[in-house]
Amino acid sequence: MKAKFDFKKLNLDRGQTRMLVTITVAAAVTVFCLLSAKALWSQAAYHRQVLSAKRQAVAQLKANIDTVETLKTQYDAFNSANPNAIGGKNVSDANATPPDGTNSQVVLNALPSKYDFPALISSVAKVMSLNRIGNPGIAGSDQSATINSQPTANPQPVEIPLSLSGLTTYSGAQNLVRDLERSIRPFDITKLQLSGSSASLSVSASVTTYFQPAKILSAGNKEIK
């Protein structure tokens, strides 16, 4: 027997196969195009964020450069004031002692950036000696081992409490209080006790002074996601 072929059916099957292949290829191409479009869109959005961040950084840099000149002018004017802020001689000598010195030196001495307890005790002892305080006593806790003097991004003043005592006259007590109040380094007198006569007066005072760590300036990095 001879096999008979249905050419119409064969042609139809071939046509359906070609259509199926075409649809499959078209679907694959469509999916590829969609995925590519999504990736390109995400990449474009990322680049827009990067460009926006760069524009902000450039604008901030320009503003900082403009501010530098203003700060320099203000600093020069502040430093050239005569007399200086506390009434001393305005001299730029690095060895100048208070109240002499430029205003910038006065400011730096007013709030030291390092915790130096022995230097503080020496300074207070000198003030008491100049006022002829008899039997001077200075009490405080040296916290050099625990206090951090390293520069920080947001430094804050740190309190250093002291107790002072001694014998003087009424005018001597007045001079001591006056000198503490006009000291370059700030001293807050939180408690003051006086006993005795004007010629022989026992003085006891609680005072608080300060230091403030230096401010650190650093450039940061920003991650763009």
21 and 72 in a single domain? The answer is yes
Mean pLDDT over 104-113 rounds to: 79
Given this model, what pLDDT does residue 194 score? 92
pLDDT at position 1 over 50: no
Q: Among 49-58, 86-95, 200-209, name the one with the lowest average pLDDT.
A: 86-95
Contact of 80 with 176, CB cutoff 8 Å: no
Mean pLDDT over 161-184 rounds to: 90
Residue 60 to residue 50: CA distance in whole angstroms: 15
Angle at 84 between CA 78 and CA 87, to 5 degrees: 155
Whether 146 maps to a domain, the answer reads yes
CATH of the domain at 144: 3.30.70.60
- Which segments within 69-200 are labelled E, that is strand? 134-139, 158-168, 188-196
Q: How many domains does the chain have?
A: 2
pLDDT per residue over 119-163, tens digit each? Answer: 899 889 988 998 889 999 999 999 988 888 888 888 888 999 999
User: Model pTM?
Assistant: 0.59
64 and 150 in a single domain? The answer is no
Given this model, what pLDDT does residue 191 score? 93
State the pLDDT confidence band at 2, using cuts at 50, 70 and 90.
Answer: very low
Across the chain, mean pLDDT equals 81
Whether 64 maps to a domain, the answer reads yes
63 and 21 in a single domain? The answer is yes
State the pLDDT confidence band at 208, using cuts at 50, 70 and 90.
Answer: very high
pLDDT at position 11 over 60: no
Whole domain around residue 193: which residue ranges? 112-211
Of 158, 170, 173, 175, the closest CA to residue 205 belongs to 173
Whether 204 maps to a domain, the answer reads yes
145 and 66 in a single domain? The answer is no
Contact of 120 with 84, CB cutoff 8 Å: no
Contact of 133 with 204, CB cutoff 8 Å: no
117 and 186 in a single domain? The answer is yes
